[in-house]
């Protein structure tokens, strides 16, 4: 049986079904095959994709995790948008402040606190929502940084940041 090369076509909302690239256009090394396993609208706003040791595929989505940066970029001068991208902790949007939760068993969870009841509800990066029994929490405190990764943390260089800014301003 040939090993499979899995392909996720994570199509943005600007693309339509007619824009799907036919699989026979891909050059696949001998002994591998290509399979489409997920396409839009099955996945929306994918933030990361990985496989585990058992071959399972995990996709984290960034659904409603942060403020709408496209609207922000349209309304703000380029210098302000650049600063937000390069130093996201310099000015955190109201309602998107982070919290650090320390559990009784020593785990640390960073995210947006949605509810302080029992259970405590926190939304972490990738849009993952966690419910934690209040009795399992040792404490929580405000996170002194943005939950948004900086362009440097994302591995983007100056030209890529400039391209991103130009793209955001064009929307």
- For residue 4, name the pLDDT band (cuts at 50, 70, 90): very low
Q: Would you say 134 and 113 are in contact if contact means Cβ atoms under 8 Å apart?
A: no
The stretch 123-131 carries a mean pLDDT of: 78
CA distance 169 to 40: 24
Q: Which of 64, 19, 23 is nearest to 40 (CA)?
A: 19
pTM of the model: 0.56
- For residue 141, name the pLDDT band (cuts at 50, 70, 90): very high
User: Looking at per-residue confidence, does 8 or 126 come out higher?
Assistant: 126
Residue 41 has pLDDT above 50, yes or no: yes
Q: How far from chain centre, in Å, is Cα 38?
A: 17
- Confidence at residue 52, expressed as pLDDT on a 0 to 100 scale: 65
* Tokens found for residue 113: 């606190």
CA distance 149 to 78: 19
Fold category of 69-170 in CATH: SH3 type barrels. (2.30.30)
Domain ranges of the chain: 3-61, 69-170
The stretch 66-80 carries a mean pLDDT of: 86
Residue 27 has pLDDT above 60, yes or no: yes
* Tokens found for residue 43: 């996945």
């Amino acid at each position: 049986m040939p090993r499979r090369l899995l392909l996720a076509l994570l199509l943005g909302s600007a693309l339509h079904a007619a824009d799907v690239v036919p699989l026979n256009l891909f050059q696949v090394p001998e002994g591998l095959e290509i399979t489409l396993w997920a396409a839009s609208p099955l996945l929306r706003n994918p933030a990361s994709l990985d496989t585990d040791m058992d071959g399972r595929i995990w996709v984290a989505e960034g659904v409603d995790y942060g403020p709408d940066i496209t609207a922000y970029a349209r309304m703000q001068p380029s210098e302000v948008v650049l600063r937000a991208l390069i130093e996201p902790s310099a000015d955190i949007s109201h309602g998107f402040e982070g919290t650090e939760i320390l559990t009784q068993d020593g785990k640390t969870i960073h995210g947006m606190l949605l509810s302080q009841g029992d259970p405590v509800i926190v939304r972490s990066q990738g849009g993952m929502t966690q419910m934690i029994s209040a009795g399992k929490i040792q404490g929580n405190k405000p996170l002194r940084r943005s939950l948004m990764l900086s362009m440097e943390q994302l591995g983007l260089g100056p030209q890529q940041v400039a391209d991103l800014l130009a793209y955001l301003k064009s929307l």
